[in-house]
Structure 1
């Protein structure tokens, strides 16, 4: 084992001890960070160890990271040690596939970004423990840089085994749910592109609907969203140089491909037979599979849809009722008022953007209502709203929304996973899990 790898193990252990033995602000910061993270996970020993490992680089004590505090408190460290520790700010968590087994480690592919890393254990115990792993198995773990050419396992790892495409899609969906801020940690360019796609979608939404907020009956909204999606698709096809005025049959003829061949290929890829046939009608433009709202929204009497360049797209079937409550002379006389208010506080689908929209529209009414419901007569909307939202575990800053674009390799994976599920007619509960993946 390389000397620098052995030294990294010693330094990492000293760093962990420094954090766990700390008192005062550092200990308090760890406790707060851990409480926030545990609300999202299982709370088992592996997750707890992972939280400590993440806190070391991601946590903050004032304006400093625990890594920086450790370096400050150890002035006698050599420059090489200090550089090594400082490089650990680039540590990140990922879902890795083993692509090659090396004598002292692995070549790993980060499924989230399609980047490869040579990763080595920094101690004999870990090396022995993972010696049974095989090519193709999936690991959930964090890695940290050691040199310019290889990395080390930073904390605990979870072995997920070899996963077929449907189960891998579910695993990536779960990763997205549990580590939203770590999706593209090693690819800031992908993260920037994803955020930019949300801005672009928002502008397209406004161009089509004329506003960032619309309220329609569910069945009507479903039709309008389908029209909207079709327009977006046509724009993307046009940008790709595809003539959307031609039917698929015409393009097939120009390409010298038989209609039946293209139909068979499309069906093999999982396309609906009726959609494929429609695409071959002589006077038909290319069509996309219908985009449906969930059944409960399609049946809703009213659904309010919001679009925001950072928060993304939101569908609320209860927003009109909330407006009715806040507009009433006596909100307590409205049936189900307090129950709905508590739902807005407790349900994670009602984010900070929605609350601030209500605060802008009904500042006086909302403040009085919260004073009563929370039994906090001194509650001030101006100064207490954000702390209240944090109290109910609502992020104040937006996380990357579901409408954001995804790397093509992930898009392809989910398409292939859905195709496999359709082919094998997997039970509906697996299909529901797939819905957790990138959309």
Structure 2
């Protein structure tokens, strides 16, 4: 196998999934705009131009692409390809929006969108801190839900006020409707923690108040309920290192005692062993680059979503 072939095969491990709008045809290729990541792809098919017969500028394709490394900037259709007419733009926009918001990693293939995502998250976090009084809260679930709905309502009202020309004369339903509802696993505990971190974004943690009590009073480490909770925080893949880091940083004088009791390691110190513990328990977190906790929508998808 040649070096070029090897590079091509390696590139195929990372296909680009998207919903594409046809920009134009160029010989055997079509130029596609990915509505999800807002990038253009010069695309070929291994069956030649016949694959694109029957589609024209403004039509849509849903498919996956893989890079052709022997031809810089060229992409190849991989697998099934579904085509849709221009008249389906509204439905296509909704499908692309769902893909972008449910799988934001697809959006952040675009470095520009990645930076926009970080910037928007910084702005949203600053607004959250100003509205809520801090970036870490511990509340009963009902109060947390009310606070978050108040925050999202505040953000929407601010967005509407900032664009009076675009909203004048339009009916704007939903300002008084709930924006956020906690899932059952967060609605049932006595407390939940809400942390809006600069890197990890906005996250919610069940029974965070009990965990905070443990770090504030390490004698509680002898209680089975508190031990089981900390073990769950260390074990669960749905929980990043963030809450444990936060509590250890907030209680440096007691964190060592908590972990010594839990791990039965009298020589454990958080400053020396804490990060290694998290790396062992949560390798998935350290294996991935951090991404913004908000999604970013491209200009063309935004226009299609409002019927332009």
Q: Does 1:403 align with 2:291?
A: no
Matched, 1:301 2:190: yes
Superposition deviation, residue 157 in structure 1: 3.2
Aligned to 2:236: 347
Q: State the alpha-carbon separation in 1 of the partners of residues 272 and 98 from structure 2.
A: 40
- Note closer, same or farther for the CA distance 1:191–1:239 as it changes in structure 2 (3 Å cut): same
The equivalent of 1:159 in structure 2 is 80
Hey, what's the Cα distance between the residues in 1 that align with 2:61 and 2:155? 38
SS where residue 283 of structure 2 aligns?
coil
**Partner in structure 2 of residue 336 of structure 1:** 225
Is 1:109 equivalent to 2:33 in the alignment? yes
Q: Is residue 107–residue 118 contact of structure 1 (8 Å, CA) maintained in 2?
A: yes
Q: What residue number does 1:53 align with?
A: 11
**1:395 match: secondary structure:** helix
Q: Could you list the runs of 5+ residues in structure 2 that have no partner in the other structure?
A: 85-90
- Looking at structure 2, the residues matched to 411 and 210 of structure 1 have their Cα atoms a distance apart, in angstroms, of 32
Q: CA deviation at 1:372?
A: 5.0
**Correspondence for 2:151:** 228
Residue number in structure 1 paired with 2:43:
119
Whether the 8 Å CA contact 2:36–2:96 is kept in 1: the answer is no
Aligned to 1:82: none
Question: Contact 1:367/1:380 (CA < 8 Å) preserved in 2?
Answer: yes
Q: 1:160 to 1:302 in 2, by over 3 A?
A: farther
User: RMSD over aligned Cα, in angstroms?
Assistant: 3.9
Q: Partners of 2:103 and 2:285 in 1: how far apart?
A: 18
* Structure 2 equivalent of residue 193 of structure 1: 116
Secondary structure of the residue that 2:285 maps to in structure 1? coil
Seen in structure 2, the aligned counterparts of structure 1 residues 292 and 174 have a Cα distance that, compared at 3 Å, is: closer
- 1:233 deviation in Å? 1.7
Q: Does the 8 Å contact 1:352/1:394 carry over to 2?
A: no
Q: Which residue of 1 aligns with 2:88?
A: none
SS in structure 2 of the partner of residue 205 of structure 1: helix
Q: Which residue of 1 is the match for residue 5 of structure 2?
A: 13
Distance (Å, rounded) in 1 between the aligned partners of 2:182 and 2:262: 31
Out of 382-391 and 161-170, give the one that drifted further.
161-170
Map of 1:298-377 to 2, 5 A cutoff? 298-363=187-252, 365-374=254-263
Deviations along 1:91-119, one digit per CA (max 9) or x if unpaired, are 98442537367653333222323332222
Whichever structure has more helix as a proportion of its residues is: 1
CA 323–415 in structure 1, closer or farther in 2 if over 3 Å, else same: farther
Q: Would the aligned equivalents of 1:146 and 1:152 in 2 still touch at CA under 8 Å?
A: no
TM-score, normalised on structure 1? 0.54
Hey, which of these two has a bigger chunk of strand by percent? Answer: 2
Q: Which residue pairs with 1:67 in the alignment? A: none
How many residue pairs were aligned?
291
Counterpart of 1:138 (choices 56, 62, 66) is 62
Deviation for aligned residue 1:54? 7.3
How far apart, CA to CA, are the structure 2 residues paired with 1:175 and 1:306? 22
CA 1:174–1:218 in structure 2 vs 1: closer, same or farther (change >3 Å)?
A: closer
**Greater radius of gyration (CA):** 1
Map 1:206-285 → 2, pairs under 5 A:
206-241=129-164, 252=169, 275=174
- Given the two structures, how large is their TM-score scaled by the length of structure 2? 0.74
- List runs of 5+ in structure 1 lacking aligned partners: 1-8, 17-48, 56-90, 122-126, 253-261, 276-286, 417-439
Distance 2:189 2:67 in 1: 46
Determine if contact 1:214/1:304 at 8 Å carries over to the other structure. Answer: yes
2:11 counterpart SS class: helix
Name the structure, 1 or 2, with higher relative contact order (CA <8 Å, separation 6+).
Answer: 2
